[in-house]
Amino acid sequence: MTLATGRRYLMCRPTYFAVEYTINPWMDPTGAVDTALAVQQWETLRQTYLDLGHTVEEIPPLPGLPDMVFAANGATVVDGRVLAVQFRNPQRADEAPAYRSWFERAGFEVHDPKHVNEGEGDILLAGDLLLAGTGFRTAHAAHAQVQEVFGHPVVTLQLVDPRFYHLDTALCVLDNRTVAYLPEAFSPGSQAVLRRLFPDAVLASAADADVFGLNAVSDGRSVVLPVQATGLAARLRERGYDPIGVDLSELRKAGGGPKCCTLVIRGQETGK
Ligand code: ARG
């Protein structure tokens, strides 16, 4: 386990959050969504990060973009370098330039995407490796660009369950050496790769994954995860992590959890 360090996160307040279309199996536009409650739950998540000593930057939400709260999909940021995103679905396309200009204005070197890639939803830094999901959203072809832009080895992981359509819904990086994941969300070959790379991984149960337990944010010590994922929290505690439960039930109606709401900004100075 590595020591927790102050992290820099980018978040987007869910002012215009709604479920207006269906681009993953969790989204039911006929169901009721309480936007005020979503904002409250999001505020609690933000405050949890602040209490842990992390910095939270905010990108202003835009009307007409109900999924913009899911900042993890806004970019991938490693070593101070940014790969901008290109969304699979037209409903989210206009989020890409908004996130792109936020990073440009903040002074980052921004690379344009050549293929569909949904940022940290599918591209996760684990130690020196970049784990890259494909199968539902990010195109396999994007993985080559990810490797070229960041100069970290990219490991392709094939997602097979539509409920776990982004890598960050099926796998959580706990620290530089370990991950937690739901084996059956991956193809047999990718499961073998994960066993080889992370023999000590925490294996999640279907019950934990079903409440988005793997959509968690770890700083190497504290793991912020949905409060409903009690089994996973217990496993993490046994392994020496400090699980912190938050309730994001409203945002789950769009297929999102804590990690989806959180983009990690990794500057040159903080390393990896
Ligand atoms: N409704 C959003 C979508 O389907 C949810 C995105 C969740 N983000 C994530 N990083 N998994 O695109």
> Ligand 1, closest atom to CA 259?
10
AA identity, residue 56? V
Q: Which two tokens stand for residue 52?
A: 């842990």
**Would residue 260 show up in a list of annotated catalytic residues for this protein?**
yes
Residue 5 has what pLDDT?
Answer: 67
Pocket-testing residue among 260, 261, 263, 264, ligand 1, by greatest number of atoms within 8 A of Cβ: 260
> Ligand 1, closest atom to CA 87?
12
State the distance from the centre of ligand 1 to the C-alpha of 255, rounded, in angstroms.
6
Name the residue at shortest CA distance from atom 9 of ligand 1.
260
* Positive or negative torsion for Cα 25, 29, 32, 37: positive
Task: Give percent helix, percent strand, percent coil of the chain, each to the nearest 5.
Answer: 30, 20, 45
**Would residue 12 show up in a list of annotated catalytic residues for this protein?**
no
Residue 269 has what pLDDT?
Answer: 56
State the distance from the centre of ligand 1 to the C-alpha of 24, rounded, in angstroms.
8
Q: What is the pLDDT of residues 119-138, one digit of tens each?
A: 999 999 999 999 999 999 99
Q: What is the pLDDT of residues 3-54, one digit of tens each?
A: 456 899 999 999 999 999 999 999 999 999 999 999 999 999 999 999 999 9
Residue 271 has what pLDDT?
Answer: 42
The residue ranges of the chain whose pLDDT is under 50 are: 1, 3, 270-272
CB burial class (10 A; 0-12, 13-18, 19+) of residue 255? buried
| CB contact at 8 A, 214 and 181 | yes
State the distance from the centre of ligand 1 to the C-alpha of 70, rounded, in angstroms.
6
Q: Which residue has the tokens 């949904």?
A: 118
Residues with CB under 6 A from ligand 1: 23-24, 27, 67, 70, 72-73, 92, 121, 166, 168-169, 254-256, 260
Q: In sequence order, what are the residues at sequence separation of 6 or more whose Cβ sits closer than 8 angstroms to the Cβ of residue 31?
A: 19, 253
State the distance from the centre of ligand 1 to the C-alpha of 93, rounded, in angstroms.
13
Interstrand relation of 81-84 and 75-78 (parallel, antiparallel or unpaired): antiparallel
Strands (E), 41-173: 55-58, 75-78, 81-84, 109-111, 123-126, 129-134, 154-158, 171-173
Rounded to a whole number of angstroms, the distance between the first and last alpha carbons of the chain is 14
Residue 268 has what pLDDT?
Answer: 76
> Ligand 1, closest atom to CA 255?
5
Residue 272 has what pLDDT?
Answer: 42
Q: Which two tokens stand for residue 123?
A: 């591209």
Catalytic member of 54, 111, 143, 166:
166
The pTM (predicted TM-score) of the whole model is: 0.96
Separation CA 39–CA 51 (nearest Å): 18
State the distance from the centre of ligand 1 to the C-alpha of 61, rounded, in angstroms.
15
Interstrand relation of 217-218 and 55-58 (parallel, antiparallel or unpaired): unpaired
